[in-house]
Every structure is written in C-alpha cells, then in structure tokens.
Structure 1
Amino acid sequence: MSATQTHAHADELERLLELVGGDLEVPLVGGEWVRYANLDMAASAPALRQVADIVAELLPYYGSVHRGAGFASVVSTEAYIRAREIARGFVGAREDDLVLFTRNTTDAFNLLASALPPGTTVLTFAGEHHANLLPWRRGDVRHLPIPASPADALDALDAALRGLGAGDALVAVTGASNVTGELWPIQEIAQVAHRHGARVALDAAQLAAHRPIDIAAWDVDYVAFSGHKVYAPYGAGVLAGPADWLDAAPPYLAGGGAVRNVTVDDVEWTTGAARHEAGTPAALGAVAIAAAVSALSATGWERIQAHEQELLERLLTGLDAIGGVRTYELWERGHDRVGVVSFNVADVDPALLAAALSAEHGIGVRDGSFCAHPLMEHFAARDGRPRQAVRASIGVGTSASDIDRLLRAVERIARDGASWSYVEHNGYVCPDPDPRPRPALGGLLSGPVAGGGSACRG
C-alpha cells in the first residue's frame, strides 16, 4: 500500500476515533516543542474524545448508584446498568454469564482467583503477564513451559490436563502477548480444555483494543480486560463468565451493596454481579468503557485492524533495516499479531534508549521486562537477548509519521548514541539536567515530587 493510501486511512480513522491529546505537544531537553508520538498504547491508551465527552456529560448527574432516589442517582444508576449490558455485548457473553466491573485486568483475575472452588488446579503458561501468573499462586497452579509454537502449546496443555485427577481445573491464557503482540490459539485451547472438563479464563488486556472478542463463539468461560487499554482510562475493568463459581464464593469485598440483609451477628450475601461489587462503584469508569467499546465496534474492526497492520509492517520493516536492532518473537515471524513490538539496539541500554527517545525526540515508548519476567528470561536463555528491551506499541491514533519518527530516532541513536547526558534516578534513567517544564495541573506539580516512582525530578 502506498504512503498516500496509508495516510488517507489514518486520517479517516483519526476522524472517527479522535484521541484526547492527539495533538499534544511536549518539550524536548534542547528547548524545542514537538507533537508527542505516543507509541506506548499497550501500557495505557489515552481516552477517545467521545469517551471524555460522554463522561463530561454524565458528571453533572453523578450520584450514588443503586442507592439514591434523586434524579442524579437515577441517571447514574441507569447509565451503570446500561454500561454493563454494553460490556456484555462487547465480549460476546452468554445470557446467563455475570458481567462484573473491576478496577482492571489484574483486579479481575484476583477476583476470579478468590472465587475458585477449593482444590481447583490452575494451568497457565510461564510466559504470561504477571496479572495472569501471580493471582493463581494462592492455590494449586501448574506452570506449563513456554511453547515453541502454537501447536506445541496445545500438545503441552493436552498432556498436562490428561495428567490431572478428578476435580475442577482452570486454564488461564492470554489472547495476545504484551511483549510480542503474538496471538494465541484461543479457540483451540478452549477445545482442548473442555475436552478434559476444564474451564478457560482469557486475559484479553492486549486483545480487546485490537480485535473483536466473542467468548460464546470461542467457547471461552471467563474473560477479563481493562478500560485503560481500550481508550477509557477512568479506573475500571471487566470480568465476565459463568455465575456458579462467582455466586458460591465469598464476596470479593465485604460491604454495602453486596448484601441482602445484615444483623449484628450475621449477614446474608446477595448473588449476581452485586455480590462482588461492594461499595460505591466506579460508575464513570464503567460508562467510559461502554462508550469506548461502542465507538470501536461502530468504527469497524476490519478498518481498525487494517490500519494497525499497515503500521506494524512499516515498523517491522524499518527496524529490520537498522543495524544492530533485533526484535523479539515467541514464534516465527509472520504469525498473526497485534501492533506490539519489543526490540533492542546493540550496545545501547534499553532504559537509556527509551529516555533519549522521549527527551530528545518526543517519542513515548516503554522499557523493561513488561511485567513478564519469566518470558524475558526465556528470550535471554533461548536467543542470548538482553532481559530488558524497548517496546513500541500501536493504536488507533498512531500514524505513519509516528512510525517514521521512531525509526529515524532509533537509527540516529544506534549510530551516534544519545545527544544529552543521563543519570539513574529513582530506578529510572533521566536526563541530567532535565529542563523540560511540567504542566502545573492546578498546582499539583508546582512543587518537587517526593517518594521515588518514575519522576525524574524529586
């Protein structure tokens, strides 16, 4: 496809799915200001403009959900209920599935882990995101080796399930790797699991913003995703799946809203979604998710996927042409993947590369091990790759010019090194000095930032 056609597709998608901050300009250490190239969509994507507008429209009516008779509470409650139904449709949940609002994918899987029947065995692959590794460790979890191919994954899962005795089992697997973007064979995994009587929990955190989800058609039992990955960064996520385990489990949080009746000495818990949503819910976050997934679906997944795949090919081709650059793939190049690419530049520390891309070029990427330490250790052992890498990720707001800026910057740094001086501070590599002005945020950032974290000035 020609550059002109690529730009035309990007312009059309930008019109349909405008991002808040899509025209953001950021300062460079040299004093210039440039448009921000956000290539960190896999971590947290900015809000869609229509999502922010809907949240702003709801704000004057914000009131207690399920608890108030006033008109604002009525509107907030109706919006919250409608958001749940939209989320249900987005993931293709079955009529009798529960759809719960959580904080994010990590929270959703911790909730599900707390609801597993006693004695449940969980099987997951060692290369999963920490959100799909750590919650299950409170019980019986089996870590399958990182597979050499999708077929190898199915064979390993089949063998492991055959070796289990009687009892409940859950297979927890990602839809798309947050390190390489590669898609896992979800339907085939569900077939293998169900053949042995096991259930399947799908981590759709990296899938939900890029491909349509249909757990009923795929015969997947549970699915979880985060609002901040689907252009709704307002602090909510979703867990959907069968009601039986969730209704039988103790409430995830003990508190108001999860009960039918409370006495001084006893409590009768409710069932359904409310059982695990005690306290005042994040109604704005739930509505934001509903607005975001509605906008994505209305735009059309074929259009979104075509745009992102064009840019992914542009990125991979460009990185391959730069001397000293190596990308990370779990399986052979060419396997279906979303727009996530991790890479390294020979003799350049990934943290320094990411810092220089930001400070000198106005490009946002992620560096590190991406909450997937065992997977990065696997790459180090198998390929001799560094355990740390840089990750560039693509979304609906990414343009060909963003990709080209990244490629030019990586090539320059690979050839000449960073132009500014940098030091390690609070565990991060930071420009030294860092003259870039911060926004005041109503005075929140007018003073020094204390206590570490990612701040490069404290």
Structure 2
Amino acid sequence: MRKMALVGDRQWVPLVTGGEVRRLDLDYAATAPCALQVRDAVDEILPWYGSVHRGDGFPSAVCTELQEACRESVRAFTGARPDDTVIFTRNTTDSLNLLAHALPEDCEVFGFATEHHANLLPWDRRTVHRLPVPDSPAHALELLDAALASAARAAGRGGGARLVTLAGASNVTGEVWPVAELAGVARRFGARTAVDAAQLAPHRPLDMAGWDVDYVAFSGHKLYAPYGAGALVGRPDWLDAAPPYLAGGGATRQVDLPAVDWAPSPQRHEAGSPNFLGNYALATACELLHAPLRSGLVVQEQRLAALLERELARIPGLTVHRMWDARHPKVGTVTFSVRGVASGLLSAALSAEHGIAVRTGRFCAHPLVKHLLGEGHADGAALRASIGAGITEQDISDFAWALARLVERGPAWSYRRDGARFVPDPDPRPMPALSHGARVQLRAAERRAEAPLAPVGAACGG
C-alpha cells in the first residue's frame, strides 16, 4: 500500500542542542497528523463555503447537499445500518456526553475501569456498574455476563434500559477489545452496546451491523482530519426521545412560545451553524481510509507495531505494560516505563534533544494506568509511543536508538522539574514565525517564566 501523504511530514524542528531535525511524531493516539488529501479537500471547498440549511445562495445549496452526503460517508465507514442516525459532534468526548444525555431515565450503565475518561465519566448521573480490569478477553466476557445477570435478578420482571459501554481499542495499551462478543453478551440480557472507537477507527475497519452494536463514537483529529469534528452513529429512538443536547436554531421544526416542536435526530442535537468544514474533512478521511483499512493498512501497521515492541524489548530496564497476553491483537500503541528513570524526563529529552514526540502521563485513563504500574511506581506516569500512517521502519529504529541512548547515558541537556513535568532549562528553541509569531513568542516566554505547569496526567489527550 502506498504511503499516505501527511501535512508536516517533512517538518523540521529545532533542538535545544542546536540545529534542526525532521520531526518524528509518535503521538498518533492523541492527535494524528492531517492527511494531505483531507487538507486539499477542505481547501477545494472553501470558495464554496456557505450556510448549511439556511440560505438560498448557490454556495449554501452546495454545502447543504455536501453536509448530508458527509453523513453517508460516515455511515459507510462505520458499517452502520440503513436506519442508524449520524450526528456530527466536536469529538468522541462530545459524542459520548450526548449519548449519556439521551439515555432513558431508568437506564443502567455497565462499563470497565479500563476506559478513557471520555467513556468513564459521562455516565455518573445514572446507575453505573463499574467492572474491574479483566485478566483476559474471556474474563471480560465473564465479568460482563455476571454483572448483567446480577442486575437482571435484582430487577426481577421489571427493570429499565441497560447500556454497555466499552472501548474498541485501549488508548493506553492498544489492545483490541472483543467488541462483537461483548455485544453478544449484552444482547442476551436485552442491553444495548456503545463503542468508543476513537482509537480503533484509524486502525481497523468498523462494522456496527456485523458486531450488532448500537452506537459508535469517534473523532476526526485521530483520523487524520483535525478540523474539530466527530460523530455519534447509532439507533435513533433514544436520541429522538431525548431533549435536544443544545437548544437553538436548526434543532426545531416550529417555535410558538411557549411550545416548541423539536426536530428528530440528527438535527435535534445539532443546533447552531454546523462545523461544515470539519464535517467535510471527517467525511473525506472516512472515504480515504475506508478501502485501505480493509486491505494493506492493517497488515502494515501490525508489522510496524511488532517491530516497535521488539526494539523496546532490547532496552535494559524497560517494561511494556499490557492488560492481556502479548499475543493478543492490538493497534500501534505501546505504553512503557523504564526502571529508575522518570517518564516525564525521557519524554522531554526525546523532544528537546531528538525531535521525537511521545506522550507521558496517565493518558486520561487514570484507573487503568494505576493498575498497570502498580502502587510502588515512582511517579505514577508512563510513556506512550503510538504509530499510524506515514511511520516507517526507519522512524521506529531512530526512536529506539534515541531512547536507548537516553536510558544509557542520560540527557545531554539540563531540565528543571516543575510539579511532575520536565522542561529544558534554559529552552533556546525559537517558536515558528507565524502570522501572529511575535504574540506567540511572547506568550511562550511568559508561560515558561511564570505559569505553573500542569500535574502529570492533566493534559492527557487520548
């Protein structure tokens, strides 16, 4: 499969030690680079940009038609059923909060403690059954079966709606969850299933109908379309019965105060002028990846992910953290720590001295990271390297070499610790000359000099 062209693929970044290197982005699990085809598609439509569903001008007609066509691209990408609704949102977090808002009042929610906070926190105003970290995929099925059976016994012949929420792939370990099997367990007890597909969608085909899941949420910024759009796809009945997620123009059919006749979904939950360019970018990415995800991309990423783990295994004192057996399928995300070395220091030095971006912290999955690291871990943080389209074998070799060098010799620059984060001290790297470059330079200097840095795990991003 030919390499996907990415914006910034040849971007050079400054080093604290002087000079520049081509940047190496290994933080795809947080935010993937923009696909060149996505950027070009947005640039192409910009001259035709107009109001959606609200204007008589020709650009408005063009954008209105394309807005609805974008829904069909998302529907095809997710493998949704013909009657599933497609609601455009800001991101996965927004999508899952929308779904939580739309649940029936008596709905019980079942979820594992392994989830990203976006799929852990929105349900708390409901009755939530928190399941522990499973030892294996089979154990996950057993835990869910037991929890649903217990809830069914407690309810007797009564009981309300039930929803099982789970990740398609872990944003911490990359391990792929047995979605279809868990959905089958849920179905036996009359429960619906919602899948946080933020990490799965860029790496594996989605098949809502085949898996028999009811809802899928995902984000454009992890799908090579960082234009502020995401989607919630799923059965319309709960969404049509719920009050609007936002109240405003476009969500109504008729307003005759005090009475309001709300539109059905998707418009019911899309009040205000839509992020048309973001939706168009998301749909373009879905079309771009739809065929490759069903051909060479999966095989290519599996090969590179295996190479990444082999290279990391050679570094003394390094532990790769996983929930399950090493043979279990996973996307290209690896979380690890190095004995006796602060994860934040390694992350800062990789960036400042080698131009390599990884992620450090608890990845907005604090319960899971705590479980993986154990109680005795020095700083409660880990490192995460994540790959996607555009990454090569040479990139992985370069990363492994830089990491091994830092582990063996330590950083070549000095760093100061502020809270749980590390920053170069001093940091001579100039900010890029952008249209507001002087302002950016000034604010960056002010932040370095005055602002306290966030505690570990606060800026988690996926």
TM-score, structure 1 as length reference = 0.94
Decide which of 61, 70, 83 is 1:83's aligned counterpart. Answer: 70
Moved more, 288-297 or 444-453: 444-453
Count of residue correspondences = 442
Paired residues for 1:305-384 under 5 Å: 305-381=298-374
> Which residue of the partner structure matches residue 84 of structure 2?
97
> Which residue of the partner structure matches residue 204 of structure 2?
211
Q: Does 1:171 align with 2:158?
A: no
Q: Does 1:223 align with 2:212?
A: no
Note closer, same or farther for the CA distance 1:284–1:454 as it changes in structure 2 (3 Å cut): farther
> Which residue of the partner structure matches residue 419 of structure 1?
412
> Which residue of the partner structure matches residue 188 of structure 1?
181
Note closer, same or farther for the CA distance 1:353–1:384 as it changes in structure 2 (3 Å cut): closer
Q: Does 1:44 align with 2:39?
A: no
Aligned residue type for 1:25: W
Aligned residue type for 1:82: A
> Which residue of the partner structure matches residue 149 of structure 1?
136
Note closer, same or farther for the CA distance 1:142–1:385 as it changes in structure 2 (3 Å cut): farther
Paired residues for 1:289-304 under 5 Å: 289-304=282-297
TM-score, structure 2 as length reference = 0.93
Aligned residue type for 1:295: L
Deviation readout 1:79-133 (Å, 9 max, x if unpaired)? 1111111001100111111110000000000000000001100000011100000
Paired residues for 1:403-442 under 5 Å: 403-425=396-418, 428-442=421-435
Aligned residue type for 2:219: S
Aligned residue type for 1:447: L
Q: Distance in 1 between matches of 2:318 and 2:218?
A: 32
Q: Does 1:123 align with 2:115?
A: no
> Which residue of the partner structure matches residue 443 of structure 2?
448
Q: What percentage of residue pairs aligned between the two structures are identical?
A: 53
Aligned residue for 1:13, secondary structure, equals coil
Aligned residue for 1:74, secondary structure, equals helix
Q: Distance in 2 between matches of 1:109 and 1:195?
A: 23
Aligned residue for 1:229, secondary structure, equals coil
Q: Does 1:271 align with 2:260?
A: no
Deviation readout 1:18-73 (Å, 9 max, x if unpaired)? 00011111111111111111100110001100000000111111111110110111
Aligned residue type for 1:364: A
- CA drift of 1:381 comes to 3.0
- CA drift of 1:429 comes to 1.5
Q: Does 1:108 align with 2:108?
A: no
Contact 1:86/1:290 (<8 A) preserved: yes
Contact 2:203/2:293 (<8 A) preserved: no
Decide which of 27, 30, 33 is 2:17's aligned counterpart. Answer: 30
Aligned residue type for 2:228: G
Q: Distance in 2 between matches of 1:454 and 1:107?
A: 26
Note closer, same or farther for the CA distance 1:453–1:161 as it changes in structure 2 (3 Å cut): farther
Aligned residue for 1:397, secondary structure, equals coil
Aligned residue for 1:309, secondary structure, equals helix
Q: Distance in 2 between matches of 1:395 and 1:112?
A: 28
Moved more, 442-451 or 62-71: 442-451
Contact 1:13/1:304 (<8 A) preserved: no
* 5+ long unaligned stretches in structure 1: 1-11
- CA drift of 1:425 comes to 4.5
Q: Distance in 1 between matches of 2:10 and 2:293?
A: 24
Q: Does 1:135 align with 2:126?
A: no
Aligned residue type for 2:370: E
Aligned residue type for 2:404: E
Note closer, same or farther for the CA distance 1:114–1:453 as it changes in structure 2 (3 Å cut): farther
> Which residue of the partner structure matches residue 13 of structure 1?
2
Contact 1:380/1:386 (<8 A) preserved: no
Aligned residue type for 2:22: R
4+ residue runs over 6 A deviation: none
Aligned residue for 1:442, secondary structure, equals coil
Contact 2:180/2:212 (<8 A) preserved: yes
- CA drift of 1:271 comes to 0.6
- CA drift of 1:447 comes to 2.0
- CA drift of 1:427 comes to 5.8
Note closer, same or farther for the CA distance 1:263–1:297 as it changes in structure 2 (3 Å cut): same
Contact 2:32/2:223 (<8 A) preserved: yes
Q: Distance in 2 between matches of 1:152 and 1:299?
A: 32
- CA drift of 1:299 comes to 3.1
Decide which of 255, 268, 280 is 1:262's aligned counterpart. Answer: 255
Q: Distance in 2 between matches of 1:427 and 1:309?
A: 33
Note closer, same or farther for the CA distance 1:274–1:239 as it changes in structure 2 (3 Å cut): same
Aligned residue type for 2:280: V
Q: Distance in 2 between matches of 1:301 and 1:271?
A: 33
Q: Distance in 2 between matches of 1:364 and 1:212?
A: 27
Q: Distance in 2 between matches of 1:144 and 1:411?
A: 37
Q: Distance in 2 between matches of 1:240 and 1:76?
A: 21
Q: Distance in 2 between matches of 1:238 and 1:454?
A: 32
